[in-house]
Amino acid sequence: MDFAAWTRTLFDRGLRVVPPSHPAPVRLWALLPAGGLLHFRCHGTTVDLERYAEGDFLFADPAGRCDCGCGQHLPAPQAPPRLVLRKDARPVGGVRYDGAAERGWRGYKAGLLSVDAAAEVFDRLLADLVPHLTAGAGGFTGTPAVRRSAVRSSAVRSSAPVRAGGHRAPAVGHPV
Q: Where are the domains of the chain?
A: 3-54+91-175
pTM: 0.70
pLDDT tens digits for 21-56? 999 999 999 999 989 999 999 999 999 999 999 999
Report the distance separating Cα 27 and Cα 151, nearest Å: 17
Residue 79 phi/psi, 5° resolution?
-105, 135
pLDDT at 133: 74
- CB–CB of 48/25 below 8 Å? no
Q: Choose between 34 and 79: higher pLDDT.
A: 34
Q: How far is CA 87 from CA 4, 103, 110, 150, in A?
A: 30, 35, 27, 19
